[in-house]
Every structure is written in C-alpha cells, then in structure tokens.
A = this chain, B = another copy of it.
C-alpha cells in the first residue's frame, strides 16, 4: 500500500479525490486528559455553574473541527454537517474522557475532523486548568469508528 500523500517528486501533495463518490460519512474519535484528582473535582464543581470548563472545551473542539483543513496541511476542505462532543469525568482513572462524533456528505471523510475536535477540547481543558495543575497529560487520541466511503467501516476494538 502506498503513502498516498507523496507526489512524483517525493514531496507532499493533497491527494486527488475528484473521482470519489459523495457519500454520507461519520467518524468517532476519543481521547483522555489525565490530571490530579483535585483538578478533576474542581472541574466537576465548576460544571455546576454556567460557563464551565467543559462548555468552553466543547465550543473550542467544535470550532477547531470546522477548521481542520486550515491546520492539517494535506487535509481536504470539508463541509461538516454535524459535530458533537461528549465528556465523562472518570474518577477511577482521574481523567476526563472525550469523545467526538463528526458527520459529512462528501468525497472524503471526517476522521481528522473528529481527532481535531477531541484534541483541541483536551488542550482547552489543559489551558483552563493549568493555573492549578501543570502536569495534566492529553493522551490516547485515537479513531474509534469510521463509516462511509470506499474503505468501508472501521471499528476499533476497545
């Protein structure tokens, strides 16, 4: 199998998807932000107020998802038709679990958009809590599921 992003001169190109069919596509990505138990507790408490850390992370992730092709050099511009992010505060593992779902109808899929949503949501959590916890770690960013398009269904074994 070929690294499709490399052109005849050995340099990067944006892959030509002109011949691909427009289909409904969906991608799900996930990731975790590990932190001190106390930080997680603070986020939970903040979550009771309006305008909490997770609300800002949610908005940041969705906005970044729309701008994926401005940030990842060889990504095609895509008009995503829906984006949602969910958070789970896991006190057993002392982490915020992030899961993003992105949809589009187009010639190429939205896995980078889902990964971008998770990542920027994670970095935003870091940014908003860094005054109390500089050692947070954004981790485990991975594709969980991808459907639509020629390559068909991908589902990660959890």
- Residues on A lying within 8 angstroms of B by beta carbon are 1-18, 24, 31, 42, 46-56, 58-60, 62-64, 66-67, 69-87, 103-107, 111-112, 115-116, 119-120, 122-124, 126-132, 134-143, 146, 154, 156
Instruction: Given A11-B50, A81-B17, A85-B13, check contact A3 B132 (CB 8 Å).
Output: yes
Q: B60 touching A14 by the CB < 8 A rule?
A: no
Partner among B56, B67, B112 whose Cβ is within 8 Å of the Cβ of A123: B112
Partner among B73, B83, B106 whose Cβ is within 8 Å of the Cβ of A13: B83
Residues of chain B with a CB closer than 8 A to A7's CB: 51, 84, 86
Residues of chain B with a CB closer than 8 A to A46's CB: 3, 6
Q: How far is the CA of A12 from the CA of B49 in the complex (A)?
A: 11
Please give me the residue from chain B that is nearest to A51 by CB atom. Answer: B11
